[in-house]
Structure 1
Amino acid sequence: MTTHRLLEGRRVLVTGGARGLGFAFAQALATAGARVVIADILSERVQQAAAELQAQDLDVSGVTVDLANPASITACAAETVQRLGGLDGLVNNASITNSGGKTCEELSIDTFDQVMQVNVRGTWLMTVACLPALRESGRGAVVNLASDTPLWGATNLLAYVASKGAVIAMTRSLARELGKDNITVNAIAPGLVLVEATAYVPEARHRLYTEQRALQRAQLPDDVSGAVIFALSDLARFITGQTLPVNGGFVMP
C-alpha cells in the first residue's frame, strides 16, 4: 500500500492494537509517517506487537487499557499524550463480540451488557479522555470502527450489531458536537475481515460475504487501512459525521 507519508508527524492512538485490524492499522499509520501508541487489554501481546513494529523502524509503542474500566481509559489517554507530546488522531478500534452464534432469545443479559460496556461506553469514554489533547491539536480526527452488520441486519449477533449501530449513531452526534473544535469524527464500517477475532465465524457466513460482494474475494486487514489513513489525514478535513462501508460492495447504502 502506498501512503505517500500522508500522516507525517501525526500523533495517533489506536485501541485494540495488539493484533488483527488494530495491529494492521498501527503498522499502516506508522508507515504513513505517524507516531503511534497502540493500546490493548492484552498487556504482554501489546508490548510484543509494539516491539515487532519497532523492529521495522516504525515509531510505535504500547500501553495497556481495559475499556470496561473508566479509570484505565483515563490513564491510557494521559500516558499516550505524555509519550507523544500531544494527540492528533484517535482510532477507536477495540471491541468485543461475545454474542456470536446466539439468537436473540439465547443471548444473556450479562453478555449484552458486557458488549455494550466495551464497544459503546468504552468508545465514548476514550473519546472524552482524549478530547483535551485533540482540541489542542487544532486538527484532531476521531475514527470509530463500526461494522457493516447493522447496515444489513446480521442475524445471531444481536449485541454486537446493536453496539456497532450505536457507534454509527454516536459518530454523527459527536461530529455535530465537536465540529466547533475543528475535530472530525467519522466511522469506518468493515465487512467480515480475516483476522483472529473472526476465526469463530461459521464457514457459511464467510462464504456468504465472499459470494455476495461485488469484489468476490476475502477481505484482509490491509483492505481497511487505507480508509483509516484517509480519515485521519488532511485530505478528509471537511468530511465528518460519515460512515464509510469498506466491504467490497457487500452493502451499498
Structure 2
Amino acid sequence: MNQLLKGRKVLVTGAARGLGLVFAEQLARAGARVALADILEEQVKASAATLRDQGLDATGLALDVRDPQSVAMAVSQAVEALGGLDGVVNNAAITNSGGKTTEELAIDTWDRVMEVNVRGSWLVTNACLPALRMSGRGAIVNLASDTAIWGAPQLLAYTASKGAIMAMTRSLATELGDDNITVNAIAPGLVAVEATAYVPQGRKDLYRQQRPLKRTQLPEDVCGAVIFALSDMARFITGQTLPVNGGFVMP
C-alpha cells in the first residue's frame, strides 16, 4: 500500500473489532504507528498483538470514552507509546436504539448513546489536543453516519448523535484552524460489521437496491477516506463531512 501515513502516529478509538480494527490495520499498512483503544481491554490488546504478528506497528490500550480519567490515561499512554500524536480517529460508538420508534425509545438508552458517541468523542478530542498541537500537522477524523444525512427512521438516538458529530466537526474545524489542526468527518453507510448484524436482511437489501453501487459495503471501503483525511493530501480540507456509502445519499 502507498505509504501515505509513513511516520504518522495515530490513535483509533473503538478499535478492538469491527470498523475500528480495520481502520487500525489499514492505517498501519499505510505506514502509521497506531494505538488501538477500546473498552474491551483484553480484546483490543489481542487485536494489537495480531497486527504486530503481521509486522505492523500497533499498541493496544484500555479506554472507556465515558470516563474522563480513563480517556486522559489512554491518551497519555498512546502519546508515550507512539512518541507523540499526529492524528486521532474518533470511532468508538454504540447504536442501542435500533428498531425503536421515538415513543418506544427509553431515556436511559438515549442518554447512553449520547454519552458514548458525542460526549466520548469530545472528551477524546480534548485530551489529544496538546499532542496534536505539538505535531504541527494534527488531524482529527470523526466517524459520522449517512443516517444523519437522510434521516433514518427508528434509529433516533444514533442518528441524532451522528448529526451532532457532524456539527461538532464543523465547530472544531473553525476553532482549531489556527493550531493547524484539521477536523473532518467520514459518514459511512450500512457497513457489514458486528455492530450492524441486528439490521433486518430486508433493510440491508433495500440499501443495496437504492444506491448506484449495489454490493455489500465492507469495512475496507471506508479506509481510503480515513487515510486520506489523515494525510498531507488533505491538509487544506477541514470542517467537511464525506459520505462513503456507494451513493445512497448524494448531498
TM-score range, shorter chain: over 0.9
| Partner Cα separation in structure 2 for residue 189 and residue 81 of structure 1 | 27
Structure-1 residue corresponding to 2:73: 75
Structure-1 residue corresponding to 2:28: 30
How many pairs does the alignment contain?
A: 251
The match for 1:49 among 47, 50, 56 is: 47
Structure-2 residue corresponding to 1:160: 158
Structure-1 residue corresponding to 2:192: 194
Q: Please, what TM-score do these two structures have when normalized by structure 1?
A: 0.98
What is the identity, as a one-letter code, of the residue corresponding to 2:161?
A: S
| Partner Cα separation in structure 1 for residue 16 and residue 156 of structure 2 | 26
Structure-2 residue corresponding to 1:114: 112
| Partner Cα separation in structure 2 for residue 61 and residue 82 of structure 1 | 11
Instruction: Give the fraction of aligned pairs with identical amino acids, expressed as a percent.
Output: 70
Unmatched 5+ stretches in structure 1: none
| Partner Cα separation in structure 1 for residue 104 and residue 120 of structure 2 | 25
Matched, 1:136 2:157: no
The match for 1:222 among 215, 220, 223 is: 220
SS in structure 2 opposite 1:189?
strand
Consecutive aligned runs of 4 or more in structure 1 exceeding 3 Å deviation: none
SS in structure 1 opposite 2:4?
coil
Structure-2 residue corresponding to 1:183: 181
| Partner Cα separation in structure 1 for residue 133 and residue 206 of structure 2 | 42
Structure-2 residue corresponding to 1:233: 231
| Partner Cα separation in structure 2 for residue 204 and residue 115 of structure 1 | 25
Matched, 1:14 2:12: yes
What is the identity, as a one-letter code, of the residue corresponding to 1:73?
A: V
What is the identity, as a one-letter code, of the residue corresponding to 1:58?
A: L
Deviations, residues 221-249 of structure 1 (Å, cap 9, x unaligned): 00000000000000000000000000000
Structure-2 residue corresponding to 1:61: 59
Structure-2 residue corresponding to 1:247: 245
What is the identity, as a one-letter code, of the residue corresponding to 2:91?
A: N
Deviations, residues 8-66 of structure 1 (Å, cap 9, x unaligned): 00000000011010011000000000000000000111011001111110000100111
| Partner Cα separation in structure 2 for residue 27 and residue 168 of structure 1 | 25
Q: Please, what TM-score do these two structures have when normalized by structure 2?
A: 0.99
| Partner Cα separation in structure 2 for residue 172 and residue 116 of structure 1 | 18
SS in structure 2 opposite 1:61?
strand
| Partner Cα separation in structure 1 for residue 129 and residue 32 of structure 2 | 19
SS in structure 2 opposite 1:12?
strand
Deviation at residue 68 of structure 1 after TM alignment: 1.1
| Partner Cα separation in structure 1 for residue 63 and residue 196 of structure 2 | 22
What is the identity, as a one-letter code, of the residue corresponding to 1:229?
A: I
| Partner Cα separation in structure 1 for residue 126 and residue 47 of structure 2 | 26
| Partner Cα separation in structure 1 for residue 114 and residue 199 of structure 2 | 20
Deviation at residue 70 of structure 1 after TM alignment: 1.2
